[in-house]
Amino acid sequence: MSAIANDNFERLPKNYLFAEIGRRTEARRLRHPGEAIIKLGVGDVTRPLAPVIIEAMHKAVDELASKETFKGYGPEHGYMFLREAIAANDYKGLGIRPTDIFVSEGAICDGGNVSDIFGKDATAGITTPVYPVYLEANIMAGRQIRFIPCNASNDYTGDIPSEAIDIIYLCYPNNPTGAAISRSRLKEWVDYALKNGSIIVYDGAYEAFIRESELPRSIYEIEGAKYCAIELRSFSKTAGFTGVRCAYSVVPEELGKFHSMWAKRQECRFNGVSYITQRGAEAVYTPEGRRQTREAIDYYAGNAAIIREPLVELGLEPVGGVNSPYIWARTPGSMKSWDFFDLCLEKAGVVITPGVGFGESGEGYFRISSFGEREDTAKAMQLLKSLIYSL
């Protein structure tokens, strides 16, 4: 490979998870034409946008239609109307300022881009099983990776490392495992970071799914976190924005140079989010917006309960599905992830996600997403239950 190319790309894992799922699903469809296939694999929302968001976006589109109300470039870090709404609602009482908040077009982008402010020689601690963006962005940047295994022995929240790791990526409620983190365990991570001078990148994209009131909703509920943690949040799952694209990062002033570096990074390499999108996101914080978006989250939470129950009954020790939209469970009889995937697809016509797609530590597990239709979800679980009992 030429010296012009970033040869770190050669170190990227060959990950074709969703492409491979698509390929096998299509092959099954061709083998059994006309037979229904229920997809509970991909973590994409299916409920329409809330009426109050639709209304706000129509209004914003109309503003762009006339000279008097037209909007050109917006502020790179987001319109203050949205940054203020976020600070006042999502961080009420936590001392996060609107200027600590940076509006972006997606948590995937933030999760990757935040890597730009860290040095090449910094070490990156990645919990595993893992959603690929953190791992891949750090490999692209040429960093050394330290894997932090998450499993039943540590409630899927990782053991605090004995060595000092520079950047720690945590995601709770977790994708893919659906595990939530307790206040006391999160405090252990914050204390670790403060002691070692580490930075925690805390992905809270699934915060809206937290139901148990004793769980922390933001890392900034933990004392000292403002001095060591960046938090990422998204409207994707909270408000059904996976196709609209809006998220935000919180990089508090207390992080000093990291705050100013991130501000500079976004000013230089980013140019703000669509005005229409930001007006839509603002509407999420109105009383109707809160009520209407809550309805969709409750719908998915209802699905999660329907998925979780038979898995408990079957002894597959499911994690998640209480404070998260994902359910993670053992395959029956410790089957390989892909073998179980094939079995579910062939015999039940149900698409799940093989755990090994999130790294080797996911082998022998599978993930089910609660973002489908209620009726499909219930039917799929009925089919899976019969299938597993028949094994």
Q: Which of residues 281-300 bind a second copy (CB under 8 A)?
A: none
The residue range among 26-34, 42-50, 91-99, 284-292 that interacts with a second copy, by the rule CB under 8 A, is 42-50
- Structure-token match 């409920």, residue found: 47
In angstroms and rounded to an integer, the radius of gyration of the C-alpha atoms of the chain is 21
Among 112, 204, 325, 354, indicate the residue that binds a second copy (CB under 8 A): 112
Q: Does 329 bind a second copy (CB under 8 A)?
A: no
Instruction: Single out the residue of 199, 284, 327, 329 in contact with a second copy (rule: CB under 8 A).
Output: 199
One of 175, 277, 323, 324 touching a second copy (CB under 8 A): 277
* Phi, psi values for residue 28, rounded to 5°: -65, -40
> Nearer Cβ to a second copy, position 72 or 93?
72
Classify residue 85 by its DSSP letter: H
Task: Kindly tell me which of 129 and 216 has the beta carbon lying closer to a second copy.
Answer: 129
Residues 122-161 that bind a second copy (CB under 8 A): 122, 132-133, 136-137, 140, 142
Instruction: Compare residues 121 and 163 and give the one whose CB is closer to a second copy.
Output: 121
Nearer to a second copy, 137 or 148 (CB): 137
Report the residue number, 280 or 320, with the smaller CB distance to a second copy: 280
**82 and 281 Cβ atoms separated by less than 8 Å:** yes
Give whichever of 276 and 306 is closer to a second copy, judged by the CB atom: 276
Among 87, 205, 230, 244, binds a second copy (CB under 8 A): 244
Is residue 198 involved in binding a second copy (CB under 8 A)? yes
Dist. CA 218–CA 376, nearest whole Å: 33
Of residues 363, 311, 314, the one with CA closest to residue 338? 363
Residue 234 contacts by C-beta under 8 Å, 6 or more apart in sequence? 106, 107, 205, 241, 246, 247, 248
In angstroms, what is the minimal distance from the CB of 331 to a second copy?
Answer: 26
CB nearer a second copy, residue 185 or residue 237: 237
- Looking at residue 210, its amino acid is I
Q: How far apart are CA 60 and CA 55, in angstroms?
A: 9
Burial call 213-224: b when 16+ CB within 10 Å, e when fewer: eebbbbbbbbee
| Listed ranges 106-114, 318-326, 335-343, 355-363: which one lies at the site for a second copy (CB under 8 A) | 106-114
Shortest gap between Cβ of 246 and a second copy (angstroms)? 8
Collapsing DSSP to helix, strand or coil, 55 comes out as helix
Residue 97 tokens, joined:
């300022």
CA distance 370 to 44: 9
For residues 224 and 190, is the Cβ–Cβ distance under 8 A? yes
CB of 332 to a second copy, least distance (A): 30
Range 250-269, binding a second copy (CB under 8 A): 257-258, 261, 264-265, 268-269
Decide if 224 contacts 195 (C-beta within 8 A).
no
CB of 164 to a second copy, least distance (A): 10
Between the CA of residue 95 and those of 224, 252, 369, what are the distances in Å? 12, 9, 34
| Interaction between residue 113 and a second copy (CB under 8 A) | yes
Question: What is the spatial distance between Cα 348 and Cα 337, in angstroms, rounded to a whole number?
Answer: 16
Q: Which of residues 53-82 bind a second copy (CB under 8 A)?
A: 54, 57-58, 61-62, 64-67, 70-74
